[in-house]
Chains A and B, each alone.
Chain A
Amino acid sequence: MPDEVIDCRGQRCPLPVIAAARRMPEVPVGTVVRVLADDPAAAVDIPAWCRMRGQEFLGSVNGPDGPAYDVRRTH
């Protein structure tokens, strides 16, 4: 389960990625942040951002709140 959720529904890329990038340095290392994002580009761009920034992409889930992407701060 995620430690916290960022709601980016209704935002178009790159805004969900920017929101994740803003939040990440504010949470302790090891925290899992779930990004809710219904923009289809988020499915590509959140994993790509994790790869470029060396953060851990845990996967996507499609729940009642729509598509969501889990990211763990690793450094």
Chain B
Amino acid sequence: MSAPPVYLDAATAAPMHPVARQALLAALDDGWADPGKLYTQARRARQLLDAAREATALTLGVRADEVSFTPSGTTAAHGAVLGGLAGRRRFGSTLVHSAIEHSAVLHAAERHVGAGGTAAAVPVDRLGRLDLTAWSTAVRAPGVALAALITASHEVGTVQPVAEAAAACADVGVPLYVDAAQSVGRVPLPAGWSVLTASAHKWGGPPGVGLLAVRKGTRWESPWPADERESGRTPGVVNLPAVVAAAASLRAAAADAAAEAARLADLVDRVRERVAAEVPDVEVVGDPVLRLPHLVTFSCLYVDGEALLHALDRRGFAVSSGSSCTSSTLRPSHVLEAMGVLSHGNVRVSLHRETTEADVERFLTELPGIVAGLRAEAGVVGL
């Protein structure tokens, strides 16, 4: 009999929170009408949407009219970058961003550069932490329209010095966009940002709901064709049942966040220590202290990342990898590249509210044998 599957890829998508499931089912009955219309069914939908927005704003610590729901975290990130640049085009056309932003942010940056704009990537150190000196210099350059910084690396967990980076931006009047996809619903949000995005399926909400928050007074202009919905920030009718579920699960996740963060941080500490001690020739990457509570990444020397993912999957473990052989582009993770750490044999383990100590123990018990087996097959033992 095989052991039950252990899902360890919450940083991609967390299993749906039971509160999300309940809210989704209830809203399917009550929230199907277009909230923009004037009849009874639409008013009911509007009430649900308003309540979802109020609850989400409360959790984020912003005003309700600063929050828009988007069709995904990716669209939110695209809108944040392109809208932030559009709103400040009178001041310049340069986007400053860290070298370890999510690919959604980098793809928006590529679009901007393709349209004649410029982008400047700021490096990180070996632990994946932003070079603040280089950041301050970059945002001070003439013609900077927007700066983008991930709150904490989605690949290695290192928390970024957002408050300091925001202060450098504020000094020169450059708005700061933060991608908070790995932080919202898990850890307190940093201060000083002008635009923020997140993604519901990272906190246990349904897939297909993103958050775009634009603080009052921020020069931000929608990069999309005009549409009056969601304060004009994102076109199209929202998937209201999913939005309701996203808001309900965010409130539930935020209520438990401190306790969950403490519990998961202990489990991640255990993974960091045991993997380093029990798997030979492994590099555990990311800041050991200033890190997300739920995420840990390591690379196994001489091991093919794709083979490792498949071997783990056969034993019931679902994990992610930044190795090139696991990406469609055949390039290694730009995050690992920017840090200068080993990119092959890479595994990212990310935990969630259903992850138990027993799950982590089973993973830690089986991993050394799985890695040893792959190394024996490849004939690299003792190299």
Residues of A in contact with B (beta carbons under 8 Å apart): 12-14, 17-18, 21-22, 39-41, 43-45, 47-49, 52
Contact = CB atoms under 8 A, between A and B. Distances in A.
B283 A48 contact: yes
Nearest to A13: B344
A22 B316 CA distance: 33
Contacts of B332: 13, 40-41, 44-45
Contact of B342 (A18, A22, A43, A44): A44
Contact of B301 (A43, A44, A49): A49
A21 B302 contact: yes
Complex A-B, nearest 3 residue pairs according to Cβ-Cβ distance, in ascending order: A14-B344, A48-B342, A41-B332
Given A18-B378, A48-B340, 7 more contacts: A13-B323, A17-B302, A41-B324, A41-B332, A45-B344, A49-B342, A52-B283
A25 B146 CA distance: 50
Contact of B330 (A18, A40, A43): A40
B344 A22 contact: no
Given A17-B302, A40-B332, A52-B281, A47 B324 contact: no
Point out which of A13, A14, A48 has the most chain B C-beta atoms below 10 A from its C-beta.
Answer: A14
A21 B380 contact: yes
Nearest to A16: B344
A13 B343 CA distance: 9
Looking at B281, B343, B378, the one whose CB has the most chain A CB atoms below 10 A away is: B343
Contact of A40 (B303, B331, B380, B383): B331
A44 B343 CA distance: 7
Contacts of A44: 332, 336-337, 340-343
Q: Is the interface of B mostly helix, strand, loop or mixed?
A: loop
A18 B300 CA distance: 12
Contacts of B301: 14, 17, 49, 52
Contacts of A43: 337
Contacts of A21: 302, 380, 383
Contacts of B304: 13-14
Contacts of B337: 43-44
10 contacts: A14-B301, A17-B302, A21-B380, A40-B332, A41-B332, A41-B343, A44-B340, A45-B332, A49-B301, A52-B301
B128 interface: no
Interface in B171-226: none
B302 A12 contact: no
Interface residues of B, number: 23
Contacts of A47: 340
Contacts of B344: 13-14, 17, 41, 45
B345 interface: yes
Chain A CB within 10 Å, residue with most, of B302, B325, B340, B378: B302
Contacts of A52: 281, 283, 301, 342
Interface string B273-295: 00000000101000000000000
B372 to A, nearest CB: 16
B283 A13 contact: no
B331 A13 contact: no
Contacts of B303: 14
A22 B383 contact: yes
A18 B302 contact: yes
A3 to B, nearest CB: 20
Interface string B325-368: 10000111000110011111100000000000000000000000
Nearest to B325: A12
Nearest to A24: B383
Contacts of B345: 14
A18 B378 CA distance: 10
A37 to B, nearest CB: 12
Interface in B45-77: none
A1 to B, nearest CB: 26
A72 to B, nearest CB: 18
